Structure 1
Amino acid sequence: MTWSWEYVPSEQHVTVSAPADFLAVVEQRAAELVRAAGVLYLDGASYQGSGEPMRYLDVAGGLLAYYVVPRLELVVVCQLTPPV
């Protein structure tokens, strides 16, 4: 299995009304989170813990809400708050 990230419940739902330049930065940060999770959970598929809580990250003046699901080797981006 390979680590990845995705918008949940859907890209359309999470990214609605977010400007393209903000989304570009969000996707770069999501890729960084995937690399970090892959290092932290070397064999995520066999992880037995409860997982991590939702976290928030300041991105280009806005916020990115995400959580990590080690057993699925997945970073879930679930909410964006674009800059005003």
Structure 2
Amino acid sequence: MKRKAEKPVRAAEALHLHGQAHDAVDPKGSDIIVPGGMFTYRVVVRSERIYVVQITYLGF
């Protein structure tokens, strides 16, 4: 999961160089499929954070 979460972090860093100065709407989060489940994340540019808001374990 950690490696999968690094991808949106790198993308957000590249797109929003000056996060605290951001005054537009935050970009849409997404779901990322991982073995055995998935997780949902949200990007909050002004706080320079990506939050995992849900982890779903499917048991396989």
Name the TM-score, length of structure 2 as normaliser.
0.81
Tell me which residue corresponds to 1:31.
6
Tell me which residue corresponds to 1:43.
18
Unaligned stretches of 5+ residues in structure 1: 1-25
1:81 aligned residue (50, 56, 59): 56
Higher strand proportion (structure 1 or 2) = 2
Give runs of ≥4 in structure 1 deviating > 6 Å.
none
Unaligned stretches of 5+ residues in structure 2: none
Contact kept? 2:4, 2:32, Cα under 8 Å? no
Name the TM-score, length of structure 1 as normaliser.
0.61
Higher helix proportion (structure 1 or 2) = 1
Aligned length: 59
Q: Are 2:56 and 1:65 aligned?
A: no
- After superposition, the CA RMSD in angstroms is 1.4
Instruction: Please state how far the C-alpha of 1:32 moved relative to its aligned partner.
Output: 2.0
Query: Percent of aligned positions with the same letter in both sequences?
Result: 32
The structure showing larger relative contact order (alpha-carbon pairs under 8 Å, at least 6 residues apart) is 1
